[in-house]
């Protein structure tokens, strides 16, 4: 189990040091900003949605390793996903991290499973879910600041 935890930590560190899909996205047609007032993490999520499919996803901002890694992993996963499937993934990921009795479907989470250990540190759950709350706001075209509060 320790080897698996070490591997998960290395994946998180890698996505923090070398975030995928980092930067503004020209031509984005969905955008939302997110803020975690607890630790100051801030990000902007840019999406290009075409024919109900997320064709591009990028983010920028600043935050802790978990927040950055979560945004990086999330944007990798979103590309090519239908909007409804992305919303379902948001619900599943959020439930797994915030509810004690939520079922864990590691196969559907894929690489996102590396973030499940965050559940053991309740103060860090908001770091891991910030990008996801921002995704939810962007998909809903809410035009307001997404928050973990």
For residue range 27-60, what is the model confidence (pLDDT) as tens digits? 999 999 999 988 899 999 999 999 999 999 999 9
Report the DSSP beta bridge partners of residue 46. Answer: 31, 58
Region for residue 126 given its phi and psi (left: phi exceeds 0; alpha: psi -120 to 50; beta: otherwise): alpha
User: How many structural domains compose the chain?
Assistant: 1
pLDDT digits (tens, 9 = 90+) for 120-144: 888 899 999 999 999 999 998 766 6
Burial of residue 48 (CB within 10 Å: 0-12, 13-18, 19+) is middle
Report the DSSP beta bridge partners of residue 57. Answer: 47
Query: For residue 84, what are the domain limits?
Result: 2-147
Task: Name the pLDDT band for 103 (thresholds 50, 70, 90).
Answer: confident
Q: Which residue, among 80, 49, 61, has the nearest Cα to 19 in the 3D structure?
A: 61
Could you tell me the two tokens for 110?
A: 């894929």
Residue 113 maps to which CATH number? 3.90.1010.10
């Amino acid at each position: 189990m320790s080897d698996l935890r070490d591997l998960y930590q290395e994946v998180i560190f890698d996505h923090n040091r070398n975030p995928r899909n980092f930067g503004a996205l020209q031509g984005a047609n969905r955008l939302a900003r997110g803020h975690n007032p607890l630790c100051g993490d801030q990000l902007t999520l840019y999406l290009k949605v075409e024919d109900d499919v997320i064709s591009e996803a990028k983010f920028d901002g600043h935050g802790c390793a978990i927040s950055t890694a979560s945004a990086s992993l999330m944007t990798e996963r979103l590309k090519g996903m239908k909007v409804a499937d992305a919303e379902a993934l948001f619900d599943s990921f959020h439930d797994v991290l915030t509810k004690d009795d939520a079922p864990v479907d590691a196969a559907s989470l894929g690489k996102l499973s590396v973030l499940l250990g965050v559940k053991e540190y309740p103060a860090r759950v908001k770091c891991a879910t910030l990008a996801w709350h921002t995704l939810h706001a962007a998909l809903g075209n809410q035009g307001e600041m997404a928050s973990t509060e």
